Amino acid sequence: MATFSPEERIRLDAQLSQRTIQLDPNGYVLIKLDREKGELIVEWFSNGINEQGLATNPETGEVLACKGSAPREPIKIFRGRSAKELGISLAETNEQPFISKLDHALYIGRELQRAEACLENGNNYVQD
């Protein structure tokens, strides 16, 4: 039976993070930590998607830059004490659906687990 080292798993994870993805037309999230309150924060932002598959500001049609652009205000902010609590809030909200793609839901779940681990062990969290 083949076994994989932690280094091989890290390399595989980094490689998978570089693949091309289709954006979720329902929007994107930024995940943050509130260490003072011991909470995870999910900020949800709406977006459009242009013909090239790039995220755009739904009001202006302008392509959203990954870095350096003017900050946008989130449409909704979710707070929770655990990845599970936030995942349930996102999935079971009675408001508009915030996630429309399965791969996006899986990504958010993974990131919430990582963020929760960082909150627990004091490490910095950087969203993938």
Instruction: Look up the domain containing 56 and give its range.
Output: 24-121
Q: Beta partners for 43?
A: 30, 77
Is residue 56 in some structural domain? Answer: yes
Query: Token pair of 78, please?
Result: 């979710």
Q: Which residues contact 110 (CB under 8 A, 6 or more apart)?
A: 128
The span from the CA of 49 to the CA of 25, in Å, is 6
pLDDT, tens digit (0-9, with 9 covering 90-100), for 42-79: 999 988 888 888 888 888 888 887 765 667 789 999 99
- The verdict on residue 55 lying in a domain is yes
% of the chain residues with pLDDT over 90: 52
Q: Which two tokens stand for residue 55?
A: 């995220």
Q: What total number of domains does the chain contain?
A: 1
Residue 46 lies in a domain: yes
Instruction: Let me know if residue 83 belongs to a domain.
Output: yes
Q: What is the pTM of this model?
A: 0.82
Tens digit of each residue's pLDDT (9 = 90 or more) over 23-46: 888 889 999 999 999 999 999 998
The set of residues, in sequence order, having a beta carbon less than 8 Å from that of 98 and lying 6+ positions away, is 26, 27, 29, 44, 76, 90
Residue 17 belongs to some domain of the structure: no
In a 13 Å sphere around the CA of 25, the CA atoms on its Cβ side amount to 4
Could you tell me if residue 29 is inside a domain? yes
User: Reduced to 3 states, what is the DSSP secondary structure of residue 34?
Assistant: strand
Residue count of the chain: 128
Statement: residue 19 has pLDDT above 70: yes
CB–CB of 58/47 below 8 Å? Answer: yes
Instruction: Give residue 88's pLDDT band: very low, low, confident or very high (50, 70, 90).
Output: very high
pLDDT at position 128 is 86
Mean pLDDT of 3-31: 89
